[in-house]
Each structure stands twice: as C-alpha cells, then as structure tokens.
C-alpha cells in the first residue's frame, strides 16, 4: 500500500498524468472540429408547382319517364318487394315520418 500511494503522489507520475490530460483535451477538441466539418450539406426543399383544381360542376339532372329505363317493362320486381317493406318498417318509427 505504501508503494502505491508513494507512486500516485510522486512528481513523475503527476507530470505524466498532466501531459496525458492535456493530450486528451487536444485530441477531443480536434475530433470535435473534424466531426463538425464532416456534416453533409443541407439539401434545398423542392418547391412543388401549384396545381389548379378544376371547378366542381354539379351534375345535370333531367326529368325522365319510367318507360325510358331499359327493360323496365320486362323485369320481375317481385324479389325487391320484401326489401322495400322492410325499409318502410324501419322508417315508420323515425320522427320525421310520423303523421
């Protein structure tokens, strides 16, 4: 124990330790400078051209007749009758459908 403590506090050890400490400081400063110099240049953000949106046009509705529908007279509408009745049963309890 005496030998170790004597070596730790000897002037030679302190001199070597201080020179290593100075070298570490200089090396870390140089590494920091080199690393900051290695940054990639920032790429400019591309500016996208403005695209004009076409105006929204409402669909043109026109009055028509049932006879204008193709195959209207020849279609069998019997299977669609239960679906119509079921939708009417669901709507009869809505407040807007009350008399």
Contact yes or no for 88/82 (Cβ under 8 A): no
Given a cut of 70, whether residue 2 has pLDDT beyond it is no
The structure tokens 């002037």 sit at: 11
The secondary structure element, H or E, covering residue 87 is helix 81-91
The rounded percent of the chain whose pLDDT value lies above 90 is 1
The answer to whether residue 3 scores a pLDDT higher than 80 is no
Q: Which helix or strand (DSSP H or E) is residue 30 part of?
A: helix 11-37
How does the average pLDDT of the chain come out, rounded?
76
First to last CA, the chain: 106
Tell me the pLDDT tens digit for each residue of 50-90: 888 888 888 888 888 888 888 878 888 888 899 888 888 88
Per-residue pLDDT at 6: 53
**pLDDT of the residue at 1:** 45
């Amino acid at each position: 124990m005496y030998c170790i403590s004597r070596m730790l506090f000897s002037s030679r050890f302190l001199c070597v330790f201080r020179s290593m400490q100075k070298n570490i400081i200089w090396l870390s400063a140089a590494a920091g400078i080199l690393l900051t110099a290695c940054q990639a240049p920032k790429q400019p953000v591309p500016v996208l051209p403005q695209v004009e949106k076409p105006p929204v046009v409402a669909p043109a509705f026109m009055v028509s007749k049932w006879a204008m529908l193709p195959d209207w007279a020849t279609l069998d509408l019997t299977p669609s009758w239960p679906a119509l009745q079921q939708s009417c049963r669901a709507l009869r309890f809505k407040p807007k459908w009350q008399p």
